[in-house]
Structure 1
Amino acid sequence: MKKFLPVFSVVLAIVTILSLGLGSTQPKAAAQDQVTITWWHIGTVEDQGAYWQSLADAYMEANPNVTIEITILENEAFKERLVTVMQAGDPPDIFQSWGGGVLWQFAEAGLVRNIAPELEGEWKDSFSAQAALELYGQDGEYYGVPWTWGAVGMFYNKALFAEAGLDPEAPPATWEEFLAAVQALKDAGITPISLGEGDKWPGHFWWVYLAIRLGGEQAFLDAYNRDGAFTDEPFVQAGEYLQQLIDLEPFPEGYIGLGYGDQAGLMGDGKAAMELMGQWAPSVQIDNSENGGEAIQGNLGWFPFPVVEGGAGNPGDVLGGGDGYAVGSNAEDEAVDFLRFITSAENQAAGAKIWILPTVAAAESAIEDPILQTILAARNSAPYSQLYYDQFLPPAVGQAVNDAVQGLFEGTLSPEDVASAIEDEASFELDE
C-alpha cells in the first residue's frame, strides 16, 4: 500500500488562437517517420469535441508525419471499453484519466508510460494546480497531466429561487439552511435538485462532500492509510445527513433510473433548481437541454457545498477534480509532445472559453465567466482538495462507494450499511 499525504463562433475563435500560438508552443518533429497517435477522450459536448479536434488539426498541420486518430466515447462507455483494452494489454496512446488509484493501478501493471523526464522543468513548473498534477504520478514517476481542474459545487437557477421566495443573491450557506431551501422549493412546486443516479457517480458527490464537511482531511487520511476505517463516525454521519435530504424527496421522478445527461438536461431546461456538479456542468446542461439552455441564460449561479455546523472540516475544503490525459505504455515520443501542446498556455486559454478551467497558471487570466472565476478562487484557496473517491481509491473500493451510496438513495441500505460496505472492500484492498 502506498500512502498519499473536469457555438461555432467560439470554435472559430479557438482555431484562430491555436493558429496564432502554434509556432511558440509546438517544437518541430525531430524525425519524419510516419507516426499514428490513438487518442481517446470523452468530449461528447459539441463545442468541446470541436476544441479537441482543432488541437489535433493544428498539431498535424505543423507535424505532417503525425496522424492523430480520435475516438470519442460517452463517459460510461469509455470506462468499460478502457478496461477491455487494458486487460488485453493494448492501451491507447493518449486517453482520458482522472488520476489517482485507477491510474496508479495501470502503472503497476506496466500499461502507462513514465513521462517524468519530458515533464521535468518548464512544463512541470507551468502548472498552477500542482496538487492535481501529483495525482497523475507516484514515487517520482508521472503518467499523464491534468488539463482541467476545479471544484464540485452547487449550480442553481436564480429565477427558480426567486419564484420560491428565496433570495437568489444569498444562497444557503449551512446544511440547515440548505434543507430549508429545498423545502421552500418543493412547496413552490419546483423540483429542488436534479440527479441522475443511474450512473451512480453523481450521487457519490453528495456522500463524499458530507464526509469532508464532517470529518475533514484527517478522517479520510486515517481511513485510507488504515489508521482508521470507513466505518468511523464521520462516514456513518455522512449517510445520516444525506438520509435527511433523501427523506425530503427533492429529486426528479424516477431519478434512480436517470443518467447524467438527463440530470444536466433538466437543469438546462429549467426543470430543477439545483445540481451538485463539477465546473464543466453549464456546457453539459446546455448541450442536453431541449432549447439550448435558454432557461439558465443569465439565471445560473454557483455556491459552495453547505457547511455542516459542528463538523471537523474546514468550510473552504472542496471535493475537486477534473480531467487529464495519460500516456499509454507503447506511445511514441510524439504523443508526449502532443500532450505538452495540449497544455500550453495558449491552448489552455482557448479552452477557458468553453468551461475548461485551466491547470496552467499563465492561462488563468483568460477566464472571463464570473462563475468560473468563483470556482477558480475556491480551487486555488482550498486548504484541502479531495479527488473523487471513485477515482482516488483503488477501482474496487471506488466502485464500492458508488454502489453503496446508490443503495442509500434507493432505500436498500442504511447509513451504517453504506459505511460497512465501503470498509469491507477497503480492508481487502488497502490493508498491508
Structure 2
Amino acid sequence: MGDRALSRRGFLAASAAAGLGMTALSGCGGDSDGGSSDGTTTIEWWNISTTEPTKTVWAGLAKKFEAQNPKVKLKIVQLENDAYKSKMTALIASGKLPDIFHTWGGGVLEQQVDAGLVEDLSDSTKPWSDGMLSVAKQPYLIDKKLYGIPFDIGMVGFWYNKALFEQAGIGEPPTTWAGFLDAVKKLKAKGITPLALAGKESWTGMYYWAYLAMRTAGIDALEKANENKDFTGDGFVQAGEHLKELVDLQPFQKGFLGAAYSTPNGQAATVGNGKAAMELMGQWAPVVEADAGKGLGANLGFFPFPAVDGGQGAITEVFGGGGGHALRRGAPKEAVDFLKFFASETTDLELVKKTNTLPVVPGAEKALADPNTKAVQAQLKGATGFQLYLDQAYAPAVGQEVNDSVAALIAGSKSPGQVAQSITKVAKEEQ
C-alpha cells in the first residue's frame, strides 16, 4: 500500500476517533452483498443532492431504475456537503463504504483506492463509459484506471446580479483583479453588498485563494507545491495578500462568518434574493439560488475569475470539477447497472433539462437551453488549463488545511504568510 497511503489512513483513523460522524457506520452497506431471502438486492446510494429540484429529480430516477429492475431496491442516503465529508471520513477509517457513493475524484478518491476500498470500473463499464466526455472522467482516473463515473462537470466563477451592477455603474464584468476590486468599491459606494459568502463552511472561501494562487503562481505551481510539500513560494503568499486586499474592503454580507451556503439566510439565498451582487460558486449556483431564495432569472449573469496583473496564470485557466459516483470494492453487480443507467443519454438529457447539469454524454448537449449554463460550458470548452478543487485534488488533511487556513485569513486570524506555512506544515506531515 505504501507509506503515503498508510499515513493517510492514520489521519483518517484519528479523525474518526475524534468522533467525526461515527453514527453513520451502522447505516452503511459495508461488506454485505445486499441480498435478501426473496432475491431482492438492496443497494445503498449516498449522495449530496439535498436541494431542489435535484433531490426530486434524482428520487424519480431511482424509482425509474427500480421499475426497470424489479429485483433491485435503492436505499438513498442524502447529506449536505460538509456532513457528507465527515461521515465518509469515519466510514473510510472503518474500512466500510456505501455500495454507491458520491465522489469528486482527485486525492480523496486516490486515498480510498490506496486503502483498497474502491472498485476498479475500467473493465466493467466498457464500452459505454468510453463514450463519455474525456475531460469529465479525468478526476476519476488513477494510474490510468477508472474508479468513478461522472454525472456532472463544471467550473467555479462569479455569478452576478446584472441590475445591481447597473445601479453601481459597472458596465462590463471585470477581467482583472484590480478591476474587480474597483467594482467592489463601486458597489459599496452605492450601499450594495458586493459579495455573499458562507463563512461557516470553509470550502466556500477556499475558492478565492485557489483561483488567486492559479492566477499568481500559475496552475502548474499548484501541482508542484503538492508534490514538493511546499506552499511557501512567493506566488502563494501573494495569493493570500490579494485575498486580504479584498477582505479589507469588507465586501461580504453582515454576519457572513456564521452563514451557511444553502440555508434560507445563507450565501446562495443572499444572492438569489438580490441582497448581494455576487458570489464565487460552481455551475450549480443558479439552481441553489432559486431553491434557497427567489432566484434572479434574466438578471443573473456569469463571468470567469479575473486575471492578476503580472501573474503567471491566465483567465482561461479554470478551477472546478464535477460530481461522480464510485462503488465500494465488492459492490453488487447491480450497482454497475445503476451507474450505466445514470450515465445513459436518456438520464443525462433529464439532468440537463431539469437540473441545469452540464452534459457528460455528448448527445445530451442538445438539451442545453439556459444561457448561463451555455456560458459555463463555453468557458470549459475554451479552457487552456483545468485545476480540480484543492480540497479534492490534495490528500484529505492537506485539502482541509487549505480550507481552514483560508477561512482563518478571511476571519482575520491568519496572515497570508501563515496560510502558506500552515498548508506546508500539514503537507510535510502527510509524507
TM > 0.5 fold call: yes
In 1, distance between residues paired with 2:226 and 2:429? Answer: 12
Query: 1:80 deviation in Å?
Result: 1.6
Structure 1 unaligned regions, length at least 5: 3-31
Map of 1:239 onto structure 2: 240
Cα deviation, residue 134, structure 1: 2.6
Does residue 273 in structure 1 map to residue 277 in structure 2?
Answer: yes
Say if 1:126 and 1:362, in contact at 8 Å, map to a contact too: no
Alignment of 1:5-404 (within 5 A): 33-121=39-127, 123-128=128-133, 130-167=134-171, 170-226=172-228, 229-261=230-262, 262-289=266-293, 292-293=294-295, 296-353=296-353, 354-404=355-405
Cα distance in structure 1, aligned partners of 2:69 and 2:223: 45
CA-CA distance at 1:94 after TM superposition = 0.7
User: Does the Cα contact within 8 Å between 1:150 and 1:375 map onto a contact in 2?
Assistant: yes
CA distance in 1, matches of 2:370, 2:111: 37
Q: What TM-score do you get using the length of structure 1 for normalisation?
A: 0.88
CA distance in structure 2 between the aligned counterparts of 1:46 and 1:210, rounded to whole angstroms = 31
Task: Please say if residues 320 and 379 of structure 1, whose CA atoms lie closer than 8 Å, have aligned partners that are also in contact.
Answer: no
Amino acid at match of 2:288: V
**For each residue in 1:258-289, what CA deviation from the matched residue of structure 2 results, as whole angstroms up to 9, or x when unmatched?**
11120001011100000000000011111111
For residues 359-388 of structure 1, give each alpha carbon's deviation from its aligned partner in whole angstroms, at most 9, with x where no partner exists.
Answer: 222212211111111101111221111011
Q: Report if the CA contact (8 A) 1:196-1:256 is conserved.
A: yes
Which amino acid in 2 is paired with 1:423?
Answer: T
Alignment RMSD, CA only?
1.5
Amino-acid identity (%) = 45
CA shift digits 1:226-249 (9 cap, x unpaired): 1x7211111111001101101100
**Conservation of the 8 A alpha-carbon contact between 1:96 and 1:324:** yes
Q: Which amino acid aligns with 1:104?
A: E
Counterpart secondary structure, 2:323: strand
2:314 and 2:260 map into 1 onto residues whose CA distance is 32
Per-residue deviation at 1:252?
A: 0.8
Match of 2:416 in 1: 415
Greater CA drift, 252-261 or 207-216: 252-261
Task: Note the residue ranges of structure 2 that are not aligned, 5 or more in a row.
Answer: 6-37
Give the Å deviation of 1:34.
Answer: 2.0
Aligned-pair CA distance for 1:425: 1.1
For residues 83 and 239 of structure 1, the distance between their equivalents in structure 2, rounded to whole angstroms, comes to: 28
User: Residue 150 of structure 2 contacts residue 323 of structure 2 at CA under 8 Å; is this kept in 1?
Assistant: yes
Counterpart Cα distance in 1 of 2:53 and 2:259:
24
For residues 253 and 276 of structure 2, what CA distance do their matches in structure 1 show? 8
Change (3 A) 1:222 1:89: closer
1:292-347: CA deviation from partner (whole Å, max 9, x where unpaired): 32xx1210000000111111112200001121111112310110110111011121
Task: State the shift of 1:223 in Å.
Answer: 0.9
By how many angstroms is 1:356 displaced? 1.0
In 1, Cα distance between the equivalents of 2:102 and 2:234? Answer: 35
Cα distance in 1 between the residues matched to 2:218 and 2:345: 34
The Cα shift of 1:142 comes to: 2.1
Aligned to 1:19: none
The separation in 2 between residues aligned to 1:401 and 1:352, in whole angstroms, is 32
In structure 2, the CA distance between the partners of 1:221 and 1:88, relative to structure 1 (3 Å rule), is: closer
Indicate if the aligned counterparts of 1:144 and 1:325 stay in contact, CA closer than 8 A.
Answer: yes
Deviation at 1:348, TM superposition (A): 0.8
| 2:122 counterpart letter in structure 1 | A
Paired residue secondary structure (1:118): coil
Single out whichever of 235-244 and 306-315 deviates more from structure 2: 306-315
Which AA in structure 2 matches 1:222? K
Match of 1:196, as an amino acid?
A
Does the 8 A contact of 2:194 with 2:276 survive in 1?
yes
Which runs of at least 4 in structure 1 moved beyond 3 Å after TM superposition?
A: none
1:369-420 CA-to-partner distances (Å, cap 9, x unmatched) read 1111110111122111101100110000001101110110011111000001
Say whether the 8 Å CA contact 2:405–2:422 is kept in structure 1.
Answer: yes
Query: Structure 1 residue 124: deviation in Å?
Result: 2.6
CA shift in 2, pair 1:88/1:364, >3 Å: same
Q: What amino acid sits opposite 2:403 in the alignment?
A: N
Instruction: String of CA shifts for 1:62-96, please: whole Å, max 9, x gaps.
Output: 11111111111122221122222222222111111
TM-score, normalised with respect to structure 2:
0.88
Between the two proteins, the alignment pairs up a number of residues equal to 392
Q: 2:149 & 2:233 partners in 1: Cα distance? A: 33
For 2:145 and 2:130, locate their aligned partners in 1 and report how far apart those are by CA, in whole Å: 15
